[in-house]
Structures are given as C-alpha cells and as structure tokens.
C-alpha cells in the first residue's frame, strides 16, 4: 500500500495508477493541442496580407515619409543622430527630469519632475531626420537674404 505498481496509493498522491495515467495523457493531449494552435497562429502571421499591413510599422518609417512630404537622400545617415533616429532630449539634456538638471543626483527630500518633452525617457526623435536615421534633405541648399545696404539704389 505504500507505492509500487500493484498498490492502491501512489507516492505522488493519486489514489490509483489509472488516475495518474489519465492525468498525464490529458496533459500531453493539451500540450499537443497548444503546440498545434501556436503553429497555426504562426502560419497566419506569415501571410502576405499581414506583411502588407506591417509596412507602416517599420522602424525607419515616419509620418513625413508615409505622407509623402519628404523623401530620404539615398545612402546618407543623419549627422545629428548618426543614423540612430533618436537623440538626447534638448529640454532635460537626456536626464529625463526637468528639475535639477545640472546635478546628477537629486537633493535629499526632493522628487523628480519628469520632463514633458521626452516623458522621462531622456530621448526624443531626431528633429533633422524625423526619426528615420537618414538625411531627408540635401544640406547646403538655401538662399541668402540681402542686407539693407545692398537694397539701396546708388
């Protein structure tokens, strides 16, 4: 009665061996069903339809590029963020808090006031490349405004 193949009580707490076998069979059946369902979900995720809709969620895309306002210059990375698409927040200098930005540690008894620009993360999207990491506009294009002295007629 203390265990073994012919006993009524098993060491793991099951009353009979048939109950233990039924539990393990049920567990294996559920595990096989779960694996099959995961494979079906993976197959559906790999369809062309989902790939079509996931184009807008790529890391290098931005609202400006999707709307057609700006086109990236091919093969050049942004000089501000070095191609990362993000840079330190200009308001909090990358600390993530708006108070005591000149010190690394807050004074005793003060709580941080989180930065409104970056939300406390210390990082914002690059303003030059709008988060794409590539140059959107060719640099050096511009015009010069004449001074007042040049506008006067001689």
Q: What are phi and psi of 124, to 5 degrees?
A: -130, 165
How far apart are the two ends of the chain, measured CA to CA in Å? 120
pTM > 0.95: no
Instruction: Tell me what pLDDT residue 44 has.
Output: 59
So what's the pLDDT on residue 130?
80
Q: Which pLDDT belongs to residue 12?
A: 52
Residue 138, pLDDT score = 62
pLDDT reported for residue 98: 84
C-alpha to C-alpha distances, 131 to 9, 66, 95, 105, 113, nearest whole angstrom: 66, 13, 20, 30, 26
CA 73 to CA 80: how far, in whole Å?
A: 15
| Residues 91-127 pLDDT 10s | 888 888 888 877 778 888 888 888 888 888 888 888 8
- Please, which residues have CB within 8 angstroms of residue 122's CB and are 6 or more apart in sequence? 88, 89, 92, 94, 95, 96, 115
What per-residue confidence (pLDDT) applies to 48? 46
Residues 6+ apart with CB under 8 A from 88: 94, 122, 123, 124
DSSP-derived letter for residue 88 is E
Instruction: Say what the pLDDT of residue 77 is.
Output: 80
Integer Cα distance of 112 and 106 in angstroms: 8
Residue 19 structure tokens: 């109950």
Residue numbers in the chain where pLDDT is lower than 70: 1-27, 30, 40-75, 137-143, 150-154
């Amino acid at each position: 009665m203390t265990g073994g193949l012919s006993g009524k009580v098993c060491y793991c707490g099951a009353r009979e061996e048939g109950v233990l076998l039924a539990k393990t069979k049920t567990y294996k059946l559920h595990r096989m069903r779960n694996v099959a369902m995961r494979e079906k979900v993976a197959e559906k995720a790999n369809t062309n339809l989902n790939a079509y809709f996931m184009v807008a969620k790529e890391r290098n895309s931005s609202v400006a590029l999707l709307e057609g306002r700006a086109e990236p210059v091919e093969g050049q990375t942004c000089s501000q963020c070095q191609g990362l698409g993000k840079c330190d927040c200009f308001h909090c200098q990358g600390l993530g808090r708006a108070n005591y930005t000149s010190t690394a540690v807050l004074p005793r008894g003060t709580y941080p006031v989180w930065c409104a620009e970056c939300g406390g993360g210390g990082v914002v999207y690059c303003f030059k490349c709008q988060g794409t990491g590539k140059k959107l506009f060719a640099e050096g294009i511009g015009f010069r405004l004449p001074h007042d002295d040049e506008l006067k007629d001689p």
